[in-house]
Structure 1
Amino acid sequence: MSALLAALRISRRSAWRSRGRSALIMVMIGLPVLVITALFTLVETMAVSSREGLTAEFGAADARIMQAPPGTELHQEPTGTSWSTGGDGTPAARLGPSEVAARLGPGTRLVPFTVGVLQPGAERIEALRIDLHDPLTKGMLTLAEGRLPAAGEVAATPESGLRPGDVLRPAGAAPLTVVGVVEHPHQPALRQVVGPDVSPAQTEELWSPHDYGSGWLADTPKPVTWKEVPALNAAGLYVTSPAMISDSRTPLRPGPMNAAGTAGLGVMVIMVVLETVLLAGPAFAVGLRRRRRELAEIAAQGGSAAHLRTIVLADGLVLGGAATFVATALGIGAGALGAPVLARWTAATVGPVDVPWAAVLAVAALGLVSGITAALVPAVQAARQDTASVLADRPAAAADGPGRPLAGVVLVLAGLGATVVARRQSESVWVWAAAVLIMIGLLVLTPWLVRFTGRAATRLRLPLRVAVRDAVRHRSRTASAVAAVMAVTATAVAMGIGAQSEYKDRRDAYTSARPTGTLAIWGGTMSDATWGKLRAEAARLLPGVPLAPGYQAQDAQGHRYALRYTVKWNGIRTRRTAAIGDRALLRLLQGRDDPRAAEALASGKAVVFDPAAVRDGKLALRAGSTSGPPRRLDVPAVVAVPADEHQGGALLPRALVEQAGFATAERQLYAMHRLPVGSTLGHDLSKATGRVTVASEEGYRNLPTPALWGWLVGAVVLAVGGTLAATGLAAADMRPERATMLAVGAPPATLRLVVAGQALYVAGLGALMGLAAGAVTGVALSRPMTTHGAGDPATIAVPWPFVLAVVAGPPVLATAAALLTRTRLPLARRLQ
């Protein structure tokens, strides 16, 4: 049997005997592999390529034709597509089905479809008008329950909340009976109704070549290729076909990775290896301490130093290989099972299970290398142990060096300088690259910090003094555990500060034109009689709720105009629509009576809540319409304070708008009123007219990223695990000292305090170092994550509860766990 096979056999038996320690090492090695593998599988599965989505888009058709609105310029190329509306070219006339079929060749059969939206109540739902009985639609949707719809019927997706037997009552259309439930192959969260008699609302603003509009599924005599595309584009037709997607000129793979992507991959590899080695290293060292006698007996029987190194490295190979295999399998399973769930939660797409084997195998190899690397230092220590001392049960002499503080200081300073430079870059990956340099510098500096902080041991009580002095004597063991806690804490703190800063920046960037809690009822183009009916119905449905009127601007031909202006809010250009109203609406927008603003409004001036939009006492407006020519207006304005901090907008008096040549008509109602859950106000108002929209201003609703608490749990588990591994190693090394203390009458509580003192010292020092490193990286991350151009200041926010939990949690939990350790030991036999 070769030496390697023998070493693997010994390692396998040792791992089985110490199953708890082996499981801990496998978790520490396998956890990064599992997470990264799951992420790769998840992303690849949720990315639906053009070829994978062929059936859902085309069914059994040979082409999908979308008719663009008049004035749309289309330019389809194999490397991409561009389209724009309102071009300078002559608008293409809309073609009929016979004309489209003629352009595709004799024998072409067309199946019409329309994609738009319905509003049966307060919420909108997507709608597809098509006959699912036609063979060309096979595969677009899968029937899960009931039957396919016929005339006057629809099928609905599960997320729509409709079941067979329900009746759908679209505004301004005949009721439709739900007869089936259909599922989209790649969009589990899709809320859609489908049927041959659905009448979805279509507007030119909603049109897009892949989402909304009208078109045909085409059964053509020959494949539609790129040669026919220019002529079809010129006729206002957007075309896609399997032949075009399968064309070899169409790029299917992303281009070469840029510098930021390469740096990000390198940083990820370094951090994964560093974290794994630091976390699993103490656990391997614990195994080495417990196997010292076994290794010494092998050496006494003729085993060389190389043999001992091979045995310990085999531990890394066996445990790392097992951990990598299990973690890879679990990661693939987690990614495959999590993709449909995540797609349903986030309204994303999901395709067939797809595993990026090259990336997954690279991650597995990285985990295996990390396991072997973590066992490297214990392997060197095993080869250097004194066989006679081990067999005589004499403790090994502590021979730790003083460390290399100068090299560590240089690396930390270099990392800080790199952080200052990286903070000004647009990619956050450069900040992480600088953070790795800081962490490596702190890792080199850790032995000196352990020795330096150990000077405070003389002022501590006996149990803590013994614990700290032992940690200082065995600096190589202590430094590895301290550095592991430092790396985990620094990463979590940096992520926490970056995520909280991004959340605060997004919250500050949120803006609305109305106060939180405002109910808005908007009427579209309608007669005064219809509006009067709608207004009366709103007053009846909202008894006792004061309704402030708002007005529309119209030209002499009755074309509706929107008066808009552009302003920068939190560094982002925001376009707002100015409201038109009187003092009642001003009071609602300000949440109080403001005599100065009311006087300005009465005198014909605009009241503006965006100070940056007013220049030289003027507000620049652009009057735009989908039917009439645009106009520019400069109106007198004053700045006022709105009701909410994140509120902007402007209010124009009717007289000012009418002086500009527009007519005004009341078509809006506003109220400070929160609708109860399940309110049917929108549905009820739609009975008066289908041209009504009901909206509620709820304010900023997003919460701080839930991933913060996932990072907290992961950081605490890893930090406590590394600390307990180092504490177990220290307890094994301190068996003679603890036995002596027990022999002279030390109570069990004192022995537990010694072990707990080790855990507190290791976790506490690592957490403080991680706090310092993570704070620097987190503050640096805030700039690329929250700035939106030159001159925009960075947003810095610290999630104090999260940081406190990350920094204080591991020391507290590790100390509490160490206090529960078994302290009764047999008396040690000492040889003279």
Structure 2
Amino acid sequence: MIALPIVGVSAADLTLRSAELSPDQAVSRVVGAADARISTSHAGRPIHQVPDGSHYVPVGGFDDAGTPSKPKEETPDQVAAALPPGTRLLKDSDGYGKVRTQHGLLDTDLREIDLRDPLAKGLFTLDRGRLPERAGEVVATNAFLENSGLFVGSSVTPRGATSSYKVVGAYELPNDLKREQIIAPPGSLIAPLDKALRAAGGIGVLPNDSYLVTVGGEGFTWNMVQAANAKSLVVVSRAVANRPPADADVPLYRQEPKEQFERSAGGATHMAILATIVGLAMLEICLLAGPAFAVGARRSRRQLGLVGANGGDRSHIRSIVLAGGLVIGAAAAVSGTAIGLTLTVALQPLLEEQLGERFGSLDFRPLELAGIALLAVVTGLLSAIVPAVTASRQTVLASLTGRRGVRRANRVLPVAGLVAVAVGAGTALYGSVADMGATVVAGGSALAELGIVALTPVLVGLFGRIGRWLPLSPRLALRDAVRNRGRTAPAVAAVLAAVAGTVAVATYQHSSEIQSRHEYIADLPHGTGWLLTSENGAYQEVPALRESLTKQLPVARRADVDRLVVGRPGCESFSEDPTCGRVEIITPKDQRCPLHERREGPDTLSAEDARKLRQDWRCKGAVRGTQYSTVIADEKLLSILAVTDPGSVSALKQGRALAFDRRQVKDGKVTLRIIAGSDRDEMFAGTSEEPVGVDKVLPVHLAPEGTESWGLELVLPPAAVQATGLTTAPIGSYFALDGTATSEQRQRIAGDIDRMGVEASLRIEAGYQGDDSLVLLALTVFAGLVTIGAAGIATGLSQADAEADLKTLAAVGAPPRVRRTLSGFQCGVVALMGVVLGSAAGILPAIGLRLTQRRELEALARRAADDGYSLTGESVPFVPIAVPWETLAQLLVVVPLGAALLAALVTRSSGALARRAAG
């Protein structure tokens, strides 16, 4: 009991300290063996930076009146010219692309650097194979090879590349073991791929260049860094990392507050969490180990009585029992620390994989490890205090004869417990409705829980009243638990503490899950989806995409959709081709939002006027955007989108358009403006105040208010489009599934899309996907293990303490199974009492925290309503308080039952008879 937490704490200490890199180790993973890494800033003018190079600000700030010049790409010679003479540079370029794998396409980091250069040492670790020596060869990270299904010796082809590359080696990045990356010699990967992609009309790789530099001497000093900053260069320097300048010598801190560049301070929070974990561990150890020492002292009462009979006083007896706790604590400290360190060293590779980075080195901190060991010694000593005091109060006669005597119940502890429960519950509830923060709620809940722990002996006595209605074995178990509250109450309290924390977190998590599910906004009805191409001239591949959709997925219904085109079918809305234009839906002037039409802007209005205008129907209910807000389709689309309005379905059948936004409809008509390429250029230039383009007015049916549009603004039937003479191009399909799509089916259709070489998006609405079940399952398992462990310990103590009673049962002819049954019920009784009390205690903090969150969201909603905004569309935020009944049922039924069965199985059904002691 004492050594196990020490194993965990010592292992965690060594792991965290080893994962914490020294300044030189950390900077080496960025600059390799070089003195510094230099990159061009995006400010385009002189900058100030923080010493580690993680942030920079233009001189004068971003709000400076001067307009920054456009940043330009610096060549190696230009960068070298901005550095001290004799500086040697190594270019390091990285970009991003998709690489073909055995499964399809994988988003991968692309990098070019000469890995054989000595400056690159420390940036990577070659795991197997060799380094690339010529164009056409690459090395890949282990993460890339694992996820892509490739291996050393395979060939990889970035999408858009004209040739493949051979993987000649595998490596890892010590700072990011999970990164998918490939590295090629300079000029052999990014530049050819960028050229090929641009030649095909796509977007290039957009490389990001930096330089590893070495200057010799003392390295790249802070003065050199400031000189490079004056030329708009950002520097990560080894010398500065090892010897950072004083804050007074950092120009950026004189221009901007230092605090805004520091990482979010989570150290205090982490220390609070660590202190809480250690405190709970010590509490449960004391609660469980204390009765163990008490039983040990009771079984040694004859020896302790002999000490008193031979002249020993109470201090000697207390010292003997305390020495036992001290010895056990010391043994637990040595064994627990040794086991924890050994496990950490043995499991180092697994720990590094879990953390995602390699340790710098195993960092043993003797003082910290000694403090952890001292914690075990102190815990053992604390656990023995109460048994030592109790044993010292026994008279010599009672100790020698084995009589326990009659102990008066402690009346102070229940009163203190009641006061603590009242004060704690009141504080938690008051803190939830007042502006006092979650800390007050958590503190009040903790005080109330400690009060329940203090009331445990009384509550155990109340449980004993139900024993009269139970059969023999459970009645004996319950009465034994009530008679021996000294060992039962601490075990019940330990179970109570574990279950209360689990129920609190589970209730809060479950309530938050219901809130997130309520706030989730679906793109489509559940079980439906879309497969749509982008405007890249891929309309010729749409029939094949639709065929693949029907073949690879369990499609029940499919509605094909097209888009409007101005020009040839392959025209894009914002194409530079002058023959290509676009179509816009025109909102009548008197139906436009007044706030958006004000030339002075909404900021010139008073808060009250702005609030009133935002409540205007023309400024509310903005349609949720989607890739194509105007589509050409028939009434099949409405059945997939769950639009059941008969008038809407009839309108599409009759050839009339269907609109979802009433601001765009006037007198039963909608206006489409056809903007040709030349007209579009004139509109963007702002040379004409008259409307640009040709308007076409169509009869339209307005969907009833409240109809979900799923991001669509206008649905045009094919007949209406033919009447306007506009051109259409297919873009894909909406569909409804018969069941669900498996991962394999998704991968197959993704492979088909890749082989067609088109840009297409597949979206299947599966509803809100949370991790509630996984979290609650983990919490339930944790509480179950702690409960079974605590109940098992209490059962073992009861068996050791009640060995004479068990022998008496055997002597009077009780069947062998009675011993096993009694043991099972003893364990089950302790577990059930702890789970019931813990479940009741755990709901309070969850309710308090949820009420606090509700109050904060209501205040935010009121402020938003005063300004005329609605954050969620609801006047009152939905912040439910929901109890996870399934989790509670598992705790209340499964855990005690499992504990009872486990105790019964591991208990021997028969015991040896003892001879009667001489009178």
**TM range, normalised to the smaller chain?**
0.7 to 0.9
Equivalent-residue separation in structure 1 for 2:22 and 2:712 (angstroms): 45
> In the alignment, what sits opposite 2:454?
444
> In the alignment, what sits opposite 2:864?
none
2:458 is the alignment partner of 1:474: no
Equivalent-residue separation in structure 1 for 2:368 and 2:728 (angstroms): 62
> In the alignment, what sits opposite 2:677?
none
Structure 1 range deviating more: 781-790 or 428-437: 781-790
SS, match of residue 312 in structure 1: helix
How far the C-alpha of 1:772 sits from its partner, in A, is 0.5
Q: 1:375-386 alignment to 2 at 5 Å?
A: 375-386=384-395
Write out per-residue CA displacement over residues 397-426 of structure 1, whole angstroms, 9 at most, x where no aligned residue: 444435532211110111112322555789
How far the C-alpha of 1:269 sits from its partner, in A, is 4.2
Give the 3 Å change call, closer, same or farther, for CA 235–261 of structure 1 in structure 2. same
How far the C-alpha of 1:590 sits from its partner, in A, is 1.9
> In the alignment, what sits opposite 1:32?
5
How far the C-alpha of 1:721 sits from its partner, in A, is 3.1
Give the 3 Å change call, closer, same or farther, for CA 318–450 of structure 1 in structure 2. same
Give the 3 Å change call, closer, same or farther, for CA 710–215 of structure 1 in structure 2. same
The AA in structure 1 aligned to 2:542 is R
Give the 3 Å change call, closer, same or farther, for CA 809–29 of structure 1 in structure 2. farther
The AA in structure 1 aligned to 2:901 is A
How far the C-alpha of 1:490 sits from its partner, in A, is 1.3
Please point out which of 631, 634, 642 is paired with 1:582.
Answer: 631
Give the 3 Å change call, closer, same or farther, for CA 429–738 of structure 1 in structure 2. same
SS, match of residue 490 in structure 1: helix
The AA in structure 1 aligned to 2:793 is A
Q: 1:410-559 alignment to 2 at 5 Å?
A: 410-421=419-430, 423=432, 431-505=441-515, 511=521, 513-514=523-524, 518=529, 520-523=531-534, 526=536, 528=537, 531-535=538-542, 538-539=545-546, 541-542=548-549, 547-549=560-562, 554-555=573-574, 557=576
Equivalent-residue separation in structure 2 for 1:43 and 1:588 (angstroms): 57
The AA in structure 1 aligned to 2:75 is G
Write out per-residue CA displacement over residues 24-66 of structure 1, whole angstroms, 9 at most, x where no aligned residue: xxxx223333334444444444455654332332222222223
Equivalent-residue separation in structure 2 for 1:427 and 1:749 (angstroms): 55
Retained in 2: the 8 A contact 1:280–1:722?
no
> In the alignment, what sits opposite 1:290?
299
Please point out which of 210, 214, 223 is paired with 1:219.
Answer: 214
> In the alignment, what sits opposite 1:165?
153
Structure showing greater radius of gyration is 2
Equivalent-residue separation in structure 2 for 1:452 and 1:69 (angstroms): 72
How far the C-alpha of 1:91 sits from its partner, in A, is 2.2
Please point out which of 280, 299, 324 is paired with 1:271.
Answer: 280
> In the alignment, what sits opposite 1:692?
759
> In the alignment, what sits opposite 2:235?
239
Write out per-residue CA displacement over residues 125-183 of structure 1, whole angstroms, 9 at most, x where no aligned residue: 22212222222222212222222122111111112123122111212212212111111
Equivalent-residue separation in structure 1 for 2:178 and 2:838 (angstroms): 41
- Taking structure 2 as the reference length, the TM-score comes to 0.71
The gaps in structure 1 that reach 5 residues or longer are 1-27, 568-572, 612-617, 619-627
Please point out which of 172, 181, 192 is paired with 1:192.
Answer: 181
Identical counterparts, % of pairs: 29
SS, match of residue 25 in structure 2: coil
> In the alignment, what sits opposite 1:113?
92
How far the C-alpha of 1:98 sits from its partner, in A, is 1.5
Equivalent-residue separation in structure 2 for 1:481 and 1:398 (angstroms): 20
Equivalent-residue separation in structure 1 for 2:765 and 2:23 (angstroms): 38
Retained in 2: the 8 A contact 1:654–1:664?
no
Give the 3 Å change call, closer, same or farther, for CA 418–212 of structure 1 in structure 2. farther
Give the 3 Å change call, closer, same or farther, for CA 464–350 of structure 1 in structure 2. same
The AA in structure 1 aligned to 2:190 is S
Give the 3 Å change call, closer, same or farther, for CA 463–132 of structure 1 in structure 2. closer
> In the alignment, what sits opposite 1:97?
76
How far the C-alpha of 1:693 sits from its partner, in A, is 5.2
Equivalent-residue separation in structure 2 for 1:337 and 1:806 (angstroms): 35
SS, match of residue 831 in structure 2: helix
Equivalent-residue separation in structure 2 for 1:119 and 1:588 (angstroms): 37
SS, match of residue 179 in structure 1: strand
Give the 3 Å change call, closer, same or farther, for CA 262–350 of structure 1 in structure 2. closer
Please point out which of 712, 715, 732 is paired with 2:783.
Answer: 715
Write out per-residue CA displacement over residues 161-207 of structure 1, whole angstroms, 9 at most, x where no aligned residue: 2312211121221221211111112322221111122228889xxx9
Please point out which of 830, 836, 844 is paired with 1:768.
Answer: 836
Retained in 2: the 8 A contact 1:724–1:818?
yes
The AA in structure 2 aligned to 1:144 is D
> In the alignment, what sits opposite 2:37?
64
Q: 1:648-797 alignment to 2 at 5 Å?
A: 649-651=711-713, 669-672=732-735, 674=741, 676=744, 679=747, 682=750, 685-686=753-754, 689=757, 692=759, 694-697=761-764, 699=766, 703-704=771-772, 706=774, 708-782=776-850, 789=857, 790-791=860-861, 792-797=877-882
> In the alignment, what sits opposite 1:315?
324
Give the 3 Å change call, closer, same or farther, for CA 574–533 of structure 1 in structure 2. closer
Equivalent-residue separation in structure 2 for 1:220 and 1:574 (angstroms): 59
SS, match of residue 178 in structure 1: strand
Give the 3 Å change call, closer, same or farther, for CA 535–817 of structure 1 in structure 2. closer
Please point out which of 241, 248, 257 is paired with 2:244.
Answer: 248
Retained in 2: the 8 A contact 1:682–1:693?
no
CA RMSD of aligned residues (A): 4.7
Give the 3 Å change call, closer, same or farther, for CA 590–51 of structure 1 in structure 2. farther
Give the 3 Å change call, closer, same or farther, for CA 454–426 of structure 1 in structure 2. same
Write out per-residue CA displacement over residues 58-101 of structure 1, whole angstroms, 9 at most, x where no aligned residue: 22222222334577996522386156999853323332222111
Give the 3 Å change call, closer, same or farther, for CA 43–697 of structure 1 in structure 2. farther
Retained in 1: the 8 A contact 2:124–2:172?
yes
Equivalent-residue separation in structure 1 for 2:34 and 2:223 (angstroms): 19
- Taking structure 1 as the reference length, the TM-score comes to 0.77
> In the alignment, what sits opposite 1:175?
164
Equivalent-residue separation in structure 2 for 1:230 and 1:334 (angstroms): 47
Retained in 2: the 8 A contact 1:92–1:234?
no
2:55 is the alignment partner of 1:81: yes
Retained in 2: the 8 A contact 1:113–1:128?
yes
How far the C-alpha of 1:509 sits from its partner, in A, is 5.5
Give the 3 Å change call, closer, same or farther, for CA 64–256 of structure 1 in structure 2. closer
Give the 3 Å change call, closer, same or farther, for CA 814–314 of structure 1 in structure 2. farther
> In the alignment, what sits opposite 1:129?
112
SS, match of residue 131 in structure 1: coil
Retained in 2: the 8 A contact 1:129–1:195?
yes
Retained in 1: the 8 A contact 2:293–2:387?
yes
Equivalent-residue separation in structure 2 for 1:364 and 1:253 (angstroms): 34
Retained in 1: the 8 A contact 2:143–2:178?
yes
How far the C-alpha of 1:103 sits from its partner, in A, is 0.6
Equivalent-residue separation in structure 2 for 1:813 and 1:831 (angstroms): 42
SS, match of residue 152 in structure 2: coil
How far the C-alpha of 1:281 sits from its partner, in A, is 1.6
Give the 3 Å change call, closer, same or farther, for CA 352–593 of structure 1 in structure 2. farther
Give the 3 Å change call, closer, same or farther, for CA 39–181 of structure 1 in structure 2. same
